[in-house]
Amino acid sequence: MRTRALFTLAALAPVLILPACGEQSGSVPEVPTTELTAEVPELDAVHEFMSPLWHDAFPAQDYEAIAAAVPQFEASLSALAEAQLPGIMQDKLARWEEQKQLMLESFEGLKTAVDAGNQAEMLAYTEAFHMNYEGMVRIVRPVLPELEAFHQHLYGLYHYYGPGYDLEKIGGAATEMAAAIPPLQGAELPSNLAGHQAHFEMVVTDLGEAVGTLMATLDNPSKADVEAAIDAIHDAYEEILGIFDSSGDD
């Protein structure tokens, strides 16, 4: 078992951003706020009808209310089917599309059950419909707020400032990510992931060290070194995401 030192901001010297000889630092616009907000209003709109269906009609086995609720969902689900994810959620696109398809299929099953008057299937498909809706909600809402706070700064760095080689904004993003590391080090995983806590803490330490490397690289930057340091941060972040993706394997 190896001992790993905690990442601390005090270990980092102020960043002096100077482009290496022959390398020009670009100027990249700030990332639009809409791209950094993990919200899908079309999914929120579904909740208006899901709440009475799930909390009132379903537990009461009120089949008339269940049948009456079905057409209320049509417009919101059509809008949801066409909804675009904000930029910060693009890495979740595959999961989003898969879960959305499951939700729409369960709704079609509910409609068929209502048309047939099959009460047992009405209950079963209502439960599946709600479960798949909750699956979509979990994709939008971060499992770990501390990780999402870090990701908001990594997103701009990895997709905008790094590719544009804007050293001033790269340095700003690095400083913000460094500040986000200590809360992440103190975060506890939810109970279903408790067995991964030690791995999580190890990779968070790696993540903090990668951020420190980027900040040190910016003292005397070369484009290749800066890009490599950014990639290392992104790789460590992706490894942490893998811990959450593995929850379904336990």
Tens of pLDDT, residue by residue over 91-117, are 778 888 898 999 999 999 999 999 999
Q: State the Cα–Cα distance between residues 78 and 45, nearest whole angstrom.
A: 11
Question: Which pLDDT score, from 0 to 100, does residue 203 have?
Answer: 95
| Token pair recorded at residue 14 | 């102020």
Question: Which pLDDT score, from 0 to 100, does residue 18 have?
Answer: 47
Question: Which pLDDT score, from 0 to 100, does residue 76 have?
Answer: 93
| pTM exceeding 0.85 | no
Tell me the residue length of the chain: 250
Residue predicted with more confidence, 88 or 179 = 179
Question: Which pLDDT score, from 0 to 100, does residue 24 have?
Answer: 67
Which residue type is seen at 246?
S
- Give mean pLDDT, residues 66-77: 94
Question: Which pLDDT score, from 0 to 100, does residue 148 have?
Answer: 85
Q: State the Cα–Cα distance between residues 153 and 237, nearest whole angstrom.
A: 12
Query: Which strand (E) or helix (H) includes residue 140?
Result: helix 119-140
Q: Tell whether the model's pLDDT for residue 16 goes beyond 50.
A: no
- Give mean pLDDT, residues 55-70: 95
Question: Is the Cβ–Cβ distance between 40 and 83 less than 8 Å?
Answer: yes
DSSP type of residue 13: P
Question: Which pLDDT score, from 0 to 100, does residue 129 have?
Answer: 95
Locate tokens 């994810």: which residue? 85
Residue predicted with more confidence, 30 or 112 = 112
Nearest C-alpha neighbor of 53 from the set 118, 111, 115: 111
Q: Which of 70-74, 85-89, 97-101 has the lowest mean pLDDT?
A: 85-89
Question: All domains of the chain, ordered by start, with CATH?
Answer: 9-36+143-249 (1.20.120), 41-140 (1.20.120.10)
Q: State the Cα–Cα distance between residues 207 and 88, nearest whole angstrom.
A: 19
> 145-156 vs 167-185: helix axis angle to the nearest 10?
170
Question: Which pLDDT score, from 0 to 100, does residue 139 have?
Answer: 79
Q: What is the distance of C-alpha 107 from the center of its chain?
A: 25
Q: State the Cα–Cα distance between residues 109 and 103, nearest whole angstrom.
A: 10
Question: Which pLDDT score, from 0 to 100, does residue 224 have?
Answer: 96
- Give mean pLDDT, residues 154-159: 88
